[in-house]
Amino acid sequence: MGRNETAKDYPKERCVELVRAAVGIDTLVVDEIKGAMPWWSTVRLATRYGTPDRHVFLAGDAAHVFPPWGGFGANAGIADAHNLVWKLVHVINGWSGEELLDTYETERRPIAQRAASISAAMNDERGLMRLNTISIIPSFLQLIPYMTVGYGYNSSIIIGDDDGSSLPTPKSYDLCGRPGTRIPHKWIDEIDEEKVKEYEEDGEELIEPKSTLDWVDPCTYTLITFGEDKKGNSWDQVFKKALKEENPSHFKRPINHINYTKETQYLLIGLDWKKDFGLDYGNALLVRPDGFIAWRSSSKDPITTEFASSLLSILHYK
């Protein structure tokens, strides 16, 4: 649609001609034109994603509009809802303070900003796809995995690694357990000792493999712990204690615990803790309901209920 045109400039006859031209058949029978709406290939980004009283939030095209060349629009809208909905659940149920909702804009707006600048770079002055874009398509295609799954969040509910490692960029991203990024997908087989015996004796098939993404509980934080430290302290135990004793208000919504130890009755096949999650024995990973990693323990973090309790307070704004 031209800049000075409106939907009124597109009566049925003109729409039929446009459909025929697009399809390439002059005689195509077009029975019905359902509607004509104005649309321009443009960039618009809301200054704020919500009202100060935290009663109204913008998501999807209401918050951001991009030229369609990257295919980012619907993806970004769905990711907005994915980011916002668990925060609403936590606040409405009283599990978290209302300030949690402010992290929606902090986390999502920079992603929309990046999608906008990438797709706007492919727009020409008429709002069509730049003709010389073909030459940049290979580098553009590399951006798509980053924009769909590879980006990271930086906010007050992401407790970064002590080494200060920065968030992924379009040129350098790798899902490997870094706080602020998505939990990596790995296929795993999780079988108990009984099943191993059956397998060894009868050669029975292992149970269906599942993804590490299936560990994530969409309603609450998931704590993934891997054994205990040399002194026998385990993150699994201190978090359980912190939830029960130190701060009962958090216990309204228990954490989903995934705990593996050397003595565990389960056997995990296909996972390299160090390579896939950056976890040494005795370490832990706290994953949000949307699958983004909130915290990864480091050797400097004391394995104490006080530390676990303060971490939960930060994450819940309590």
189 is a site residue for ligand FAD (CB under 6 A) = no
Asked whether position 148 contacts ligand FAD by CB under 6 A, the answer is no
Tokens of 312: 């939960």
3-state secondary structure of 158: coil
Burial of 288 (0-12, 13-18, 19+ CB in 10 A): buried
Cβ closest to ligand FAD, residue 58 vs residue 284 = 58
Residue 127 touching ligand FAD (CB under 6 A)? no
Range 233-255 burial, b when 16+ CB lie within 10 A, else e? ebbbbbbbebbeebbeebbebeb
Tell me the site size for ligand FAD, rule CB under 6 A. 10
Q: Are 181 and 168 in contact (CB under 8 A)?
A: yes
CB of 44 to ligand FAD, least distance (A): 11
Which of 15, 18, 20, 61 is close enough to bind ligand FAD by CB under 6 A? 61
Residue nearest to ligand FAD (CB): 60
Does 71 help bind ligand FAD (rule: CB under 6 A)? Answer: yes
Residue 75 touching ligand FAD (CB under 6 A): yes
Other beta carbons within 10 angstroms of residue 231's beta carbon come to 8
| Structure-token pair, residue 62 | 């209401």
Using rule CB under 6 A, residue 38 touches ligand FAD: no
The correct pick among 30, 39, 165, 209 for binding ligand FAD (CB under 6 A) is: 39
Does 74 help bind ligand FAD (rule: CB under 6 A)? yes
Give yes or no for residue 73 binding ligand FAD (CB under 6 A). yes
| CA 219 to centroid of chain Cα atoms | 14
